[in-house]
Chains A and B, each alone.
Chain A
């Protein structure tokens, strides 16, 4: 691994022989890519196909990667301390759990100069429009880390005064659980965000362990009924149609910032939002 790389984990991609029920062969994608690479080397691809392959694989990749590396390692967080999590966010800046190691110590007070909004604390109904306004004032590309249980899901406060999760009015990229999360937990979430920005997002655990369709309601000990099989299929469809998690936005919502083109099949159009083209 390159010395400047901030990755904490080594990605493991196994080719699995035994698959539960019916699952499309992950070997096939690899096979397609390998065939295309072989044809490219042999000079068998021509014309538009060749341009497309070159654009996808060579130019855009390198430039994107450099840009994303820069973006990830020099994030300006917006100081947005709401409640108790703000104290732990301040201690992430403190010398012991130094966030300056990851390049994010320059906390900008103004949203117009900030990249990342760390929502630390419970979002009350009076504060929600203010947070939304601040989020809108931030310039693209921007990311949101929902720190703590209260901003991720309302936390322990299931009542009239707290918005049950900042997801309700903001696209959130990373949720950091905890009440309050330890500074190390926030740093771990921050590193995950950096990996997402650099284009190699953490796969969800269901994908990593091939556990789609293992939800309680879909699993049946013993025989697999037809209903369960349909449920499996449905769950797998959902997981696959969602694709890798987008860089910005809650699952299923349109992407605020287009990620590297080779990870997506098409760029979703956003007619009612300022398009966040970065080039």
Chain B
């Protein structure tokens, strides 16, 4: 269908589906359907790159005297968390319609994984949602382990939980820093990144790399933690709650921050569930849904932690939820480090897991296994599996279809940011454009996950 036909069809379409009514919005919505004039879009289509700036559906719902301005936000914009392009129809400063356009960092990771063996696909999948790389790895590796019916040793489970919760802290810190930067609180950026560097030091100590560590393997964890790691993690967890207090001291009672986030971006809970939103967004709206508690995986059932739930679901609640989640993550890390069991960090199955190097010089079977694993990789029996975990942004699910060979036949990630982004329109329509920036910040989208 050519662009012109599509635009004409949009013109003829009925009034677009109105998002859920909310008393706080007042009389911004519900005007009678009529033709509006969308001046910019009716001029010759402006090409940015190869895609056409399209009209949003809003123009068919306005009075003839009103004029709409379509503004293109992004893909290069200081406030979008990555390369997200938003087509916003504005009437004055009020957002009438919003259309996100993504794909600017689409990397074809899912297709690329079909070309690599399972072991080699791990670095690919961890670069999807690039702030929560341990979670990406856990989703993929957990899915493959489920298909192989492989049990991992308890020490590996605990180590995975420790690294994942540290990653959750890291992701929330980056979110906090960049969101506060968007809202104008520039010093928060430096505070958060200062603490983020401490977490990255811990990662570097145990895995050798700050980001994208390729630490989780099918069967456990790549390597055991070095000697000073426990001590450093304990020092970190003892000091970090006071850092969170510092962040709260800056923002929580800050009048500007309160005015910008309270009552803004409210979407009711049922609508969020219909949109498939999960994670802190859903919890801020009041739904007690966290996969670590309802469908415990790894060793989460052993730990005592709470899930922060909001009441209203505005930007303020999302902020408070994530701050509290940071505190709970610190609790989990402390309990995990205290209860870290002894034992191997990799499962024993030599057909899947590389044998330890000292065996290679003594055992012929170990040599053969090593050879087969390195050249071809392990084979997974045919089947498919969907494995969801709770990433800092919501439900991260990995679907793997295995065809019996050493390479997956299909890898798909149900990325939370991709699905959560659908709620942006509901949050922003009827509010000011400055609130849209705040909604985008509190939504915490990571474009690597959206675009994969």
Contact = CB atoms under 8 A, between A and B. Distances in A.
Say whether A and B bind each other: yes
B78 interface: yes
Given A83-B82, A109-B78, A134-B76, A180 B106 contact: no
B371 interface: no
- Give the most central of A109, A127, A180: most B CB within 10 Å: A127
Contact of B196 (A91, A124, A130, A157): A91
Contact of A124 (B106, B130, B210, B212): B106
B448 interface: yes
A91 B193 contact: yes
B112 A159 contact: yes
Contacts of A179: 212
Interface string B104-118: 111111011000000
B25 interface: no
Interface in B190-213: 190, 193-194, 196-197, 200, 210-212
A109 B131 CA distance: 22
B108 A81 contact: no
Given A83-B447, A127-B75, A161 B106 contact: yes
B294 interface: no
A95 to B, nearest CB: 5
Nearest to B181: A90
A163 to B, nearest CB: 11
A94 B127 CA distance: 22
B103 A124 contact: yes
The size class of the interface chain A forms with chain B is 35 or more
A157 B107 CA distance: 7
Given A124-B106, A127-B105, A161-B106, A87 B112 contact: no
Given A129-B49, A130-B75, A159 B212 contact: no
Interface in A96-142: 96, 109, 111, 121-122, 124, 126-130, 133-134
Contacts of B190: 94-95
A162 B105 CA distance: 8
Contacts of B127: 83-84, 156
A84 B197 contact: no
Contacts of B216: none
B287 interface: no
A84 B105 CA distance: 11
A29 to B, nearest CB: 45
B85 to A, nearest CB: 9
B51 A126 contact: yes
Interface residues of B, number: 40
Contacts of A122: 105, 107
Contact of B76 (A91, A124, A128, A130): A130
Nearest to B102: A126
A182 interface: yes
Nearest to B49: A129
A76 interface: no
B82 A86 contact: yes
Contacts of B76: 80, 111, 130, 134
B48 interface: yes
B124 interface: yes
B174 interface: yes
B49 A126 contact: yes
> Of residues B131, B197, B212, which shows the largest number of chain A Cβ atoms within 10 Å of its Cβ?
B197
A88 B107 CA distance: 19
29 contacts: A80-B76, A83-B130, A84-B130, A84-B211, A87-B174, A87-B211, A94-B189, A94-B196, A95-B190, A95-B194, A111-B76, A124-B105, A126-B49, A126-B51, A126-B103, A127-B75, A127-B83, A127-B104, A128-B49, A129-B49, A129-B50, A130-B49, A130-B83, A156-B124, A157-B124, A158-B112, A159-B112, A160-B108, A160-B111
Interface of A: 79-84, 86-88, 90-91, 93-96, 109, 111, 121-122, 124, 126-130, 133-134, 156-162, 179-180, 182
Cβ-closest 8 pairs across A and B: A94-B193, A161-B108, A129-B49, A84-B130, A109-B78, A159-B108, A127-B104, A96-B197
